[in-house]
Structure 1
Amino acid sequence: MSEKTTSGASGVSGASGATSAPLLEVDGVTKSFRVPRNAAGHNRLTALDGVDLRLGRGETLGVVGESGCGKSTLARVLLLLERPDAGTVRFDGTDPFSLKKKELLAWRRRVQMVFQDPFASLNARMPAADIIGEPWRTHRDVAPTARARETRVRELLDLVGLRAGDAFRFPNEFSGGQRQRLGIARALALNPDLIVCDEPVSALDLSVQAQVLNLLADLQQRLQVSYVFISHDLSVVRHVADRVSVMYLGKVIEHGATEDVFDRPLHPYTSALMSAAPALDVTGAAPRGDRPLLSGEIPSPLDPPSGCRFRTRCPQAVDKCAGEAPQVRARDGVPGTRLEPHEGRCHFPLSIEPVGTRSAGR
């Protein structure tokens, strides 16, 4: 992978040392949905609860967590498909939810999406050239002229590793990896600043996954596009992300530089996730019996546990965990890392306070 753009907590620093504001800022975003009332009488499902994120220009933010943690809802909020109940989203210093008509249309050009299923996200009745050019039908003011359109389609096909002759083929004539390349070309047609990638390689074979990931990295280096990369595959996230946010039941419970989160996790949930991920090289890995084990199922988001939401599955939970919601505790980045401080939402972060100093009980 190519070297990433250097970033900081309050901005992004390039090679020249200049600092600029983050491209994307999410502060305290909450989103809930009304659902049928359950046996306990609850009818509000909180998908996002006080989510904070930062994304710099030319940077990749990985978002990981189990199914139902709120990753897809977060993507929908970032794409303005859902309006948050509380909190703010700022894109390049502007609240996109406040925009109207032409300003909103112009904003939508700057944020695009690559979907999980490279076949379902493409119109099977349209050739590749029409699929790539489909965004220009809505955004007419930036669409190429009829004469330049064919040239631009060929440029985009070449950019994603497809041939000019592929412009006349239909989605069913492409392989899975080629279809995802076509979806990426469509996302690039409007020259976006941010692409939200929702499980973009999970439907592909492993060898094809590597090709698509390398393509995304190459495009980022050439175009300085930013990614929010949502995935359940930890090995993929480690390969592509500058920073990682770990979600659990609607909350970001850990955030930091990728190497910090993977190698020195602060939250017990993150530690369990990392230890459970398969690895070819287990040199220095903890023996199986020493790895953190989780018990029980994920609680219902309709009725989350009091205090720390992870406490019902945490092997190290104590009374304090049930009675008091943990605040974010930060640890300065390890010398040599380029990114913002490492943070965890836990009363007893693993790398700050030894387990032996905690009180027993639940």
Structure 2
Amino acid sequence: MSENLLEVRDIRKSFRVPHAGKNKLCALDGISLDLARGETLGLVGESGCGKSTLARTLMMLERPDAGTVRFDGVDPFTLTGAELLKFRSRVQMVFQDPYASLNSRMSAAEIIAEPWRSHKGLIKNRQDRDMRVRGLLDLVGLGAKAADKYPQEFSGGQRQRIGIARALALNPDVIICDEPVSALDLSVQAQVLNLLNDLQEQLGISYIFISHDLSVVRHVADRVAVMYLGKIIENGPTDTVFDRSDHPYTAALMSAAPTLDGTHRQERILLSGEVPSPLNPPSGCRFRTRCWKATEVCATTTPPVTVDPDFGGHTALCHHPLLLEGSGLETVSA
């Protein structure tokens, strides 16, 4: 059995857009990534880069046009009936907005127990349900007294804890966290992030952590994948991606990320121009219209993948990786 719980290879997904003629919006263009057991993969990039589409695909809410997904060695898109339902229990999601993602007419106990209505046979009776709900509330730090309260009686951070308890109800292997702390105050963010970390240590859960906040990603992620216009343009161990970025886009992102003392690690890199439309992306390298290192080859040829074997298989999709000279980087075909 592979040590990777999730293996994604070259998946593609496009959508038809009204009034766009024959053009399709290419949301995912050859995405490949791995997620190990008990690991947190940070997924970062500007709005519209494809992060949410990738999350929806891994949740099986979207079917890829091409490519393969293997979860514990099995292609989930081939499953039907009871096998499909069982798979869905193994991948859960924590949503961005703790106010909109909980039904205000349901108590905390009803919200947490809701997944068991679809996945029958996991609880024996009402007494078993109540006991498990209390256990989950204790696990996320709310306590059994919270069971009969309604979402409007909780703070934002407490609501997110209820959302996490709901995601844990089916004992998942993977939780996709879609901007789970962006709507919370900084002090509350830290509490929720520490909770997620504690749960991972206790339960061995793997996380895919989607965020715009690079300081949060650095705090929680073991590895980081950087997306731009439907492609993963850099992928590697978190410290490597942050401290020795190979792709110019990643370097620009990281230059804007403050350190703990509020300063920046390097001279700020300011990008010119707007993100191109995914309906009509640039030829060759999709980042070339905003890149200060772009040359003619960037306009005519898809960038190769450079691999740095000395830094955990750190990869970048670039003709001119920033640390190529004097490094152990190897260029392979895209």
Is 1:45 the equivalent of 2:25? yes
Structure-2 separation of matches of 1:169 and 1:106: 30
Superposed, 1:125-140 pairs within 5 Å as 125-140=105-120
Answer yes or no: is the 8 Å Cα contact 2:2–2:72 preserved in 1.
no
Structure-2 separation of matches of 1:84 and 1:173: 40
Q: Deviations over 1:311-347 (max 9, x none)?
A: 000011000100101011101133xxxxx31000001
Is 1:181 the equivalent of 2:161? yes
Q: Which residue of 1 aligns with 2:325?
A: 353
TM-score, reference length from structure 1: 0.88
Structure-1 separation of matches of 2:51 and 2:264: 32
Q: 2:146 aligns with which of 166, 170, 173?
A: 166
Gaps of 5+ in 2: 327-334
Residue 280 of structure 1 deviates from its aligned partner by: 4.2
Q: Which residue of 1 aligns with 2:91?
A: 111
Q: 2:242 aligns with which of 224, 249, 262?
A: 262
Which letter maps to 1:78?
L
Q: 2:8 is paired with a residue of what secondary structure?
A: strand
Residue 150 of structure 1 deviates from its aligned partner by: 1.2
Q: Deviations over 1:152-207 (max 9, x none)?
A: 11110000000211000000000000000000000001100000100000010000
Gaps of 5+ in 1: 1-18, 335-339, 355-362
Residue 143 of structure 1 deviates from its aligned partner by: 2.4
Residue 283 of structure 1 deviates from its aligned partner by: 6.9
Structure-1 separation of matches of 2:16 and 2:2: 39
Residue 42 of structure 1 deviates from its aligned partner by: 5.0
Is 1:341 the equivalent of 2:323? no
Q: 2:307 is paired with a residue of what secondary structure?
A: strand
Q: 1:196 is paired with a residue of what secondary structure?
A: strand
Answer yes or no: is the 8 Å Cα contact 2:39–2:205 preserved in 1.
yes
Which letter maps to 1:312?
T
Answer yes or no: is the 8 Å Cα contact 1:177–1:212 preserved in 2.
yes
Structure-1 separation of matches of 2:148 and 2:161: 15
Is 1:252 the equivalent of 2:224? no
Answer yes or no: is the 8 Å Cα contact 1:63–1:246 preserved in 2.
yes
Residue 348 of structure 1 deviates from its aligned partner by: 1.0
Structure-1 separation of matches of 2:104 and 2:264: 49
Superposed, 1:193-232 pairs within 5 Å as 193-232=173-212
Superposed, 1:1-362 pairs within 5 Å as 20-38=2-20, 42-281=22-261, 285-287=265-267, 291-334=268-311, 340-353=312-325
Answer yes or no: is the 8 Å Cα contact 1:254–1:345 preserved in 2.
yes
Residue 286 of structure 1 deviates from its aligned partner by: 2.6
Structure-2 separation of matches of 1:81 and 1:105: 13
Q: 2:4 is paired with a residue of what secondary structure?
A: coil
Answer yes or no: is the 8 Å Cα contact 2:175–2:205 preserved in 1.
yes
Answer yes or no: is the 8 Å Cα contact 1:293–1:315 preserved in 2.
no
Structure-2 separation of matches of 1:272 and 1:329: 19
Structure-2 separation of matches of 1:76 and 1:320: 34
Answer yes or no: is the 8 Å Cα contact 2:94–2:175 preserved in 1.
yes
Residue 353 of structure 1 deviates from its aligned partner by: 3.1
CA RMSD of aligned residues (A): 1.4
Q: Deviations over 1:20-66 (max 9, x none)?
A: 4310010001000000244xx55300000000010001000000000
Structure-1 separation of matches of 2:234 and 2:136: 37
Which letter maps to 1:134?
E
Which letter maps to 1:353?
E
Which letter maps to 1:347?
H
Answer yes or no: is the 8 Å Cα contact 1:306–1:322 preserved in 2.
yes
Q: 1:141 is paired with a residue of what secondary structure?
A: coil
Residue 144 of structure 1 deviates from its aligned partner by: 4.0
Corresponding residue pairs, total: 326
TM-score, reference length from structure 2: 0.95
Percent of residue pairs bearing the same amino acid type: 68
Which letter maps to 2:11?
V
Q: Deviations over 1:217-272 (max 9, x none)?
A: 00000000000001111000000000000000000000000000000001000000
Residue 285 of structure 1 deviates from its aligned partner by: 3.0
